[in-house]
Chain A
Amino acid sequence: MSEAPARLRAEAEAQAAPLPPLMAEAQHLAATVILGEHGRRRAGMGANFWQYRPAQAGDDARMIDWRRSGRADTAFVQDKEWQTAQTVMVWVDRGRAMGFASTPQLPAKGHRARVLALACAILLVRGGERVGLGGQDGLPPRRGPMMLDRLAMALGTDQAEDYVAPDTTGMPARSRALFVSDFLGDPAPTLRAVAEAADRGIKGAMLQVLDPQEEAFPFEGRTIFESMGGTFRHETLKAGELRGRYLERLAERKARLRDLARATGWMFSTHHTDEAATGALLWLHTALERRA
């Protein structure tokens, strides 16, 4: 027991080690998007001026805008724009399949997924939203920058499974959700999760992060393909001959996800790790902003 705190600390530091860079990268990425509050375009609770209206009974005397009232006979109060805080649940695939990077020059899919999710979270937190992490060892939605640190910490962990499906447990109804994964695993749990979420009024976006090699399948000759965790294996004598069928299946998978998104009112897009992350972030931002 005596060594437990020390070990805990060491593990925590090892866990936290990738976080500052991750955080920094995400902050850097988030800095490319400038946004305001999620104004509701009507009067309500908020910080920004919306309109002046004559004071009515029930308005506090301290709410009267004396500068405006001085120019008229009636007293005016400032209406603020109604601002609501949304709850956004982020789910990032932390399976081993996401650890794939075809060349050392490219980031792993998982890294790109985390950076994008975290950057998106930063934007949301900056926008005053509540952000939570869905799935295994998830975090309940909270607001404020402290949440970002916790989020980053939670994102730093990996899962042992090859493919992980989205998890909707703990997602509040009518919140919004963001699923980032490669969606290469068994599609059934994903379909189920999205359908379930849609049933509970959760709208959201699915971002598929793929490595360019997964799109191209540039293999030839006799090859044994193994999944990252080694649980799946496929041997072929002519890899080049499989290319067409692989690409067909990939397109089919994407189409299926897109159909799902259309049916449930979600958004779906594919991002490749050899593209700039900014584009994907902008897409995420608009996707989550939509129909707020």
Chain B
Amino acid sequence: MWTIGPLGFTAPWLLVALAALPILWLILRAVPPAPIRRRFPGVALLLGLEDRESQADRTPWWLMLIRVLAVAAVILGFAGPILNPREERAGSGPVLVLLDGTWADARDWPARMDWAEALLDEAGRNGRTAAVATLTAEPTGAPAFTDAAAAITGLPNLSPEPWQPTAEADAAWAEALEGVEGGFDTVWIADGLAREGREDLLRVLEDKGSVTVVQAPRRIFALRPPRWEEGAIVLSAIRTPTGPALEVPVAAVGTDPAGIERELATATLDFEAGSGEAEVALELPAELRNRVTRFELPGARSAAAVALTDDALRRREVGLVMGAGEREQLELLDPLHYLREALAPNADLVEGPLPDVLLANPDVIVLADVAQIPEGEAADLTEWVENGGLLLRFAGPRLAASDLARTEEDPLLPVRLRAGGRAVGGAMSWGEPKALAPFAEESPFFGLSIPPDVTVNAQVVAQPDPTLAERAVAQLQDGTPLVTRKALGAGQVVLFHVTANAEWSSLPLSGLFVSMMDRLAVSSGGAEPEAAELEGTVWVPEAALDAQGELVALDTQPGVPGERLAEGILGPDLRPGLYAGEDRRIAVNVVNDGTVLEPARWPDSVRVEGLEAARELPLKGALLALAMMLLLVDVLASLALSGRLRGPRAGVAAALAGLLLVGWPQPGAAQDAAPAAEEPEAEPVDEDFALAATEQVVLAHVLTGDPRVDEIAEAGLRGLSNTLWQRTAIEPAAPMGVDVETDELSFFPLLYWPVTAEMPIPSREAYEKLNRYLATGGMILFDTRDADLGGFGTATPEGQRLQAIARGLDVPALEPIPQDHVLTRTFYLLQEFPGRFNEPEIWVEASPPDAALAEGMPFRDLNDGVTPVVIGGNDWASAWAVDEGGAPLLRIGRGMAGEEQREFAHRFGVNLVMHVLTGNYKSDQVHVPALLERLGQ
């Protein structure tokens, strides 16, 4: 390899041939172009004519230049030029290609793979053995150095992981690598982020041999988990290295009501110059906020650029319902006071009577001492619970006094209750107030510590039942159930056997109450779950983030203990993603509030290379293509010079030259351009169809699929076309049937659409086409052919079909045709529009409400716009229909009266087509007197 600047040659000795170019120039200069033999009778006149210039007609210098350049390009091409040739790595012995394989690598992982492959290739060329490893994978002993080609085949198995290796993981690798016998050189394709533990590993590697680090000087972004701050979601992002001021978009992604994932909101993070962190507050309506599943930095393609949201962001809606009978009381005695205090920070509260609260469809409904629920409301409430609601009931004097669930279980109470309840530790009772027993393992409250000062003075008591033991989730020390619950449909009913205020127990005063609410998912904590809360719980991964930031659903992974979750250090056993607990979900994100991004620093002893400079570009192909192109130019130019480029050849040559010019700027782009060319441009319109439809005015009818109807429609339009031909300046060609799904509609001024009951509803694309057609001046005449549109067509199947079809159409407001509509006078003066039937009512676009009757004018001043639709049921096509010979096809009415009706049907058709083609010309005649006056007539 011999290099000049960024250019290297694999066969530099071939360049010596360039010295021959001047000789070639001289030879080309000396040889005149070959003569052409021509038969030409005029030669008799030429005899004796001498050439004035005795010198041979020389090849012009530019043509020779083209030839010499072509030869030079060939020589250069075969000399094997390579742009940015990679420097050969010296050395022998095994090579270790080490990749970090973290989320920071994910964005340009293919480039890293290319780099690794190039390194392995080179090692293979030099006969070195090689091994590849990613640091995020756990080491399985010392890496085995194998043949480089074999190592390449293993490359596709490597993938980045959405975490960074911990110091322990790095230490494990250091240990594993230390175990390798003999030395090896290392190329470390690093992710560019600083982390602990790297130095030790580097030290081990340097002991073994030379270390080269490849790292892209790339900016890395990471998004921290969203915080809830004063009614807004605060998003913060960090970056490294810090740089100039930068605006980075951030998107909130979630499912829309149709269940399709989309960007629900976007915001912009403004990084100030030199600052590594940016924050933006995003205020979203509760409805939208609850739909957000994750925030992401679009385009970053890394797990760190995605922040999953869990229930922490979701504000649950809690309905609070108090027992009937508003009683005057102190606020502290209000049954709901403590609930409000406990829930308000983390949930949206709805208060009011039960029916109103049910309408709001909250996540939780709290019934504080409500005994009787009216029959209808109970049914609604039951349905709501069965659909997944959580009904939380508190006992109280009224519940204790009622006969609810005495003898048989109430669906809205988890257990049967004894009459009256019990009081312990009061002035009138024996015993001490009871404390709570530790929570059983299967209880949702398991693991909560019980403050010793929580006591219960009074409670309602559950009747002993076989199911009581499993329904009790909290008990007093004496074993009486304090909290019971049962599942009801998809939801559950929970009963606290005490009041929600401090009347019966001190539970609502304690922090335990809040924790219990939390565990019951009544309030989902805004804060990260405490380690203590997570203790003893098991969380099932529902979805995991991969290194690229894609969320992949999981259902086969084992549960993760809460302690591990609390630890928060990611690894193969704790992937970032969504973890589901009993009643809530926790998001484990790659980046947390404590994450710091810093660019990696390498000691001076290590050679650091960038990733970008890697691409070496062989120029041989391009140069040879250039030579070919020059030779082609030469051929054309020689032909042109010698006068042989005439007649049909000139056309071919022009085409070739055009091809050359187009292909010139990027000779290598042909492959890229090929798929683009295949992309459908607009909608390909059949040329014959287009020609037939546009060479003359063509009336068209929509094909319904019913052969008889289509036949009549065609015959009808044929009849109308004949009439137009005979009577007016419109000379239509034979009518055409169009399929709204496949045919282009814009060629036709008028579509006649006979509506049949079986007609399929047009597809979405067809609707788009129809709406475009209507919006750009087309007209559709809908004919239900049932003469029954007086009642607006609800009665007949055709009418219903028409409504179904028209639902997707962009039809303006309609009105029955007014007396002064321009359709009544575009050609004939008409007041009725009969077809085979003669129902008076046909519908057209409503005139503007402010249209006023001009003074002295018979018509209102309705100027602009042709009505896009005319809807009627008079079966016009049947009245217009003629056979091939031009004779009427169907009988209309009886005798001469019928013929008269047919005549009027034709007149209506003429008026209609005139209306479509001339617009509101007739309507404009309202202005004629004014115009004449202005002209001074």
Contacts and interface: CB of A to CB of B under 8 A. Distances in A.
Interface residues of A, number: 42
Nearest to A99: B41
A237 B36 CA distance: 10
B51 A241 contact: yes
A238 B45 contact: no
B16 interface: no
Contact of B646 (A218, A242, A245): A218
Interface stretch (A33-41, A133-141, A225-233, A277-285): A225-233
A235 B52 CA distance: 13
Nearest to B638: A221
A219 B38 contact: yes
A220 B51 contact: no
B184 to A, nearest CB: 70
A219 B643 contact: yes
A219 B644 CA distance: 9
Interface in B23-73: 32-47, 49, 51-53, 55-57
Contact of A185 (B37, B44, B641, B643): B44
B44 A163 contact: yes
Nearest to B58: A237
A237 B53 CA distance: 8
A182 interface: yes
Contact of A246 (B38, B39, B45, B51): B45
A163 to B, nearest CB: 6
Contacts of B477: none
A224 B41 contact: no
A238 B646 contact: no
A25 B56 CA distance: 48
A226 B38 contact: yes
B647 interface: yes
Contact of A226 (B39, B55, B641, B647): B39
Nearest to A222: B35
Contacts of A75: none
A186 B44 contact: yes
A94 to B, nearest CB: 14
A237 B44 CA distance: 18
A214 B35 contact: no
Interface string B613-653: 00000000000000000000000000001110011000000
Nearest to A214: B42
Given A214-B41, A214-B42, A220-B643, A238 B53 contact: yes
Contacts of B36: 221-224
A99 to B, nearest CB: 9
A228 B41 contact: yes
Contacts of A253: 45
A96 B672 CA distance: 58
Contacts of B643: 218-221, 223, 239-240
Given A218-B646, A220-B641, A221-B36, A236 B44 contact: no
Nearest to B36: A223
B40 to A, nearest CB: 5
A227 B53 contact: no
Given A221-B36, A224-B37, A237-B51, A232 B43 contact: yes
Interface string A190-220: 0000000000000000000001011001111
Contact of B44 (A211, A219, A227): A227
Contact of B41 (A100, A240, A242): A100
B872 to A, nearest CB: 60
B33 A184 contact: no
Contact of B45 (A224, A235, A236, A250): A250
B40 A225 contact: yes
A163 B646 CA distance: 28
A92 interface: no
A237 B57 contact: yes
Contact of A234 (B43, B56, B642, B647): B43
A227 B43 contact: yes
A246 B49 contact: yes
A217 B35 contact: no
Interface in B591-624: none
A103 B57 contact: no
B34 A184 contact: no
A186 B44 CA distance: 8
Nearest to A235: B35
B42 A232 contact: no
A250 B40 CA distance: 14
Contacts of A217: 42
A225 B42 CA distance: 9
Contacts of B38: 219, 223-226
Given A103-B647, A224-B36, A228-B41, A242 B46 contact: yes
Contacts of A232: 43-44, 47
Nearest to A233: B43
Contacts of A223: 35-38, 643
A241 B54 CA distance: 12
Contacts of B40: 100, 213-214, 225-227
Given A219-B38, A220-B643, A225 B43 contact: yes
Contacts of A233: 43
A23 interface: no
A7 interface: no
Contacts of B35: 221-224, 235
Nearest to B42: A214
B49 A242 contact: yes
Given A221-B36, A239-B643, A182 B49 contact: no
A88 B32 CA distance: 54
Most chain B C-beta atoms within 10 Å of own C-beta, residue among A219, A237, A242: A237
A29 interface: no
Contacts of A214: 40-42
A150 interface: no
Interface in B470-505: none
Nearest to B647: A103
A116 to B, nearest CB: 18
B647 to A, nearest CB: 7
B326 to A, nearest CB: 108
Nearest to A227: B43
B44 A222 contact: no
Contacts of B642: 220-222
A246 B57 contact: no
Contacts of B52: 241
A97 interface: yes
Contact of B53 (A97, A100, A241, A250): A241
A53 interface: no
Residue from B37, B40, B44, B643 having most chain A Cβ neighbours under 10 A: B40
A220 B57 CA distance: 10
A287 B800 CA distance: 85
B831 to A, nearest CB: 62
Nearest to A211: B41
Nearest to A242: B49
B44 A100 contact: no
A28 interface: no
A219 B39 CA distance: 12
Nearest to A95: B41
A253 B42 CA distance: 11
Interface of A: 97-98, 100, 103, 109, 162-163, 182, 184-186, 211, 213-214, 217-228, 232-242, 245-246, 249-250, 253
Given A214-B41, A227-B39, 6 more contacts: A100-B40, A185-B44, A220-B641, A228-B39, A237-B32, A249-B45
27 contacts: A100-B39, A109-B41, A162-B44, A182-B41, A184-B42, A184-B45, A185-B44, A218-B643, A219-B643, A220-B641, A221-B35, A221-B643, A222-B36, A223-B36, A223-B37, A223-B643, A224-B38, A225-B46, A226-B39, A234-B47, A237-B57, A238-B53, A238-B57, A241-B51, A245-B49, A246-B46, A253-B45
Interface of B: 32-47, 49, 51-53, 55-57, 641-643, 646-647
Question: What 8 A-B pairs have minimum CB-CB distances, sorted nearest first?
Answer: A220-B643, A221-B642, A97-B41, A222-B35, A225-B43, A249-B45, A234-B46, A225-B40
